A and B are shown apart, each in its own frame.
Chain A
Amino acid sequence: MIQPKNKLTHLDNELHKLKAESIKMWALVLKQLHKSRTSLVNIDKDLAREVILSEKRVNAFELKIDRDCEDIFALFTPVAVDLRFLLAVLKINMNLERTGDNAETIAQSVVDLPAHFDRKLLEITRVVEMFDQANIMISDVMHAFDKEDTLIARKTFKKDDLLDEINDNSTAIITEYIASNLDKNLTGQALYIYSIIRKLERVGDQAKNIAEEIIFYSEAKVLKHQPKGKKSGLDE
């Protein structure tokens, strides 16, 4: 058997497999997010129910990846970049699972939306725009993870600005809406949208966490708990 110089070791193979599993989980979570968004835009309750059912698969992935990480730690006692990679995967795993949870909760909200939904709510809150941006962020960090591209990861921090903006404005807008439409039904709808916005804010947070982990393992730099300007590393 020919031995090229940079042959993959047993451990390398295991890490590659782990990465592939993570990407698969990511793709699933993204799909959940997209379906959830579409179900919101079209108030498609059947599609929303699909999202709720698929949540099991996301959980199963999380358990498997956790177990695989544990096995690799036990069997190979990895060090340096391999160790950081595994620690990052564990945390990313947790964040992805929560993102999946969020997608499911949003879908549940869609299912629970009362009849005759007022589309104007979607427009004034810009919730769809927020949803799109959140999905882009999750998709971006997936690419960053896959390609080990910390530049893409860093751009995520800036993208969160839009989410913050929409989130910050949402309280005022929804309060205004409720005040001007003293209807139990419409108030209920507005509150659902409010909770969806909150969940999307968390999805944004998770994307940022994941970005931090990717930068940590690639560059051994810890960006947690740093002010935003320092994180992106880009000139403001």
Chain B
Amino acid sequence: MENTVLKAEDFNAYFGQNQILKNIRLEIRKHQVWAVMGPSGCGKTTFIRCINRMHELTAGATVSGSLKLYGEDIYKMNPVLLRRKVGMVFQRPNPFPTMSIYDNVISGYLLNHIRLTKAQKDEIVESTLKRAALWLEVKSTLHKRGTFLSGGQQQRLCIARALAMNPEILLLDEPTSALDPISTAKVEELVYELKSEYTILIVTHNMQQAARVSDRTAFFFLGELIEQDDTKVIFTNPKNEKTQNYITGHFG
């Protein structure tokens, strides 16, 4: 079924003896924006880091169960190649400080020794920055260092950097937590626009953001996937009491 981008079946994750994720089952289709929300410590960040196998970089981290990307078992793939197919944007904007904006965008290619002609590079930089809604703001300063931009611009640069690799799924780990409200709004609008070309998974502890931005929402609590449904349903009429309690602010 080519429409299913990511499928998790009875997926578990551990840090040593601690079980962080319990029997996660979900299915993400193409061009959907999924929000993963829940209180601190519910396992949402762990889950997203399992998708690109960053979870196992921590000593003692293990997983069990099945997690597939377009039908291929993620844990049987070469992790480096997997990560080129999965784009990730982190909470704190972190463009590479020694590189210019131009180089930052194509850093995935540069650092992986993938040869590109100047024309190809120019094209990728321009089209990706346009898609990240940053082109107009930086097109005359492409050769300046990335760290001279404002926080919101840096984060859009990081998004462009991830998009440049044409990922099969884009993972956003609380991308606006460190940004001011205007930049946050801009990034949210960007996610809404990117939906038509990409499949996106956004982890957020801000449930209003989850409501504004996503088509489907998954609610995690203490490592379990409590409820997953259309965002409209979750926010107007959730089926699980825990979900309702969380959304109405009764805990977490």
Interface of A toward B, CB cutoff 8 Å = 1-3, 7, 9-11, 70-71, 74-77
Contacts and interface: CB of A to CB of B under 8 A. Distances in A.
Contacts of B185: 9
A78 to B, nearest CB: 10
Nearest to A9: B189
A90 to B, nearest CB: 15
B41 to A, nearest CB: 25
Ranked nearest first, the 6 interchain pairs of A and B with the lowest CB-CB distance are: A74-B235, A75-B211, A74-B236, A10-B192, A71-B232, A3-B133
Contact of B131 (A1, A7, A11, A70): A1
Nearest to B247: A74
Nearest to B211: A75
Contacts of A10: 188-189, 192, 212
B130 interface: yes
Interface in B119-137: 130-131, 133, 136
Interface string B211-239: 11000000000000000000110011000
Contacts of B189: 7, 9-10
Given A10-B192, A10-B212, A75 B235 contact: yes
A74 B238 CA distance: 12
Interface string B128-151: 001101001000000000000000
Given A75-B212, A77-B211, A1 B232 contact: no
B210 to A, nearest CB: 9
B208 interface: yes
B192 A76 contact: no
Contacts of A70: 236
B72 interface: no
A130 B232 CA distance: 44
30 contacts: A1-B130, A1-B131, A1-B133, A1-B193, A2-B136, A3-B133, A7-B189, A9-B185, A9-B189, A10-B188, A10-B189, A10-B192, A10-B212, A11-B212, A70-B236, A71-B232, A71-B236, A74-B211, A74-B232, A74-B235, A74-B236, A75-B211, A75-B212, A75-B231, A75-B232, A75-B235, A76-B211, A76-B212, A77-B208, A77-B211
Contacts of A77: 208, 211
A222 to B, nearest CB: 28
A3 B136 CA distance: 8
Query: Which residue of A9, A75, A76, A77 has the most chain B CB atoms within 10 A of its CB atom?
Result: A75
A210 B185 CA distance: 33
Interface in B184-209: 185, 188-189, 192-193, 208
A71 B237 CA distance: 10
Contacts of A2: 136
Interface string B166-194: 00000000000000000001001100110
A72 to B, nearest CB: 10
A82 B185 CA distance: 16
B12 to A, nearest CB: 32
Nearest to B210: A75
Contacts of B231: 75
Contacts of A11: 212
A39 B108 CA distance: 73
Contacts of B236: 70-71, 74
Contacts of B131: 1
Contacts of B192: 10
A69 to B, nearest CB: 11
A71 B235 CA distance: 8
Nearest to A73: B236
A70 B235 CA distance: 10
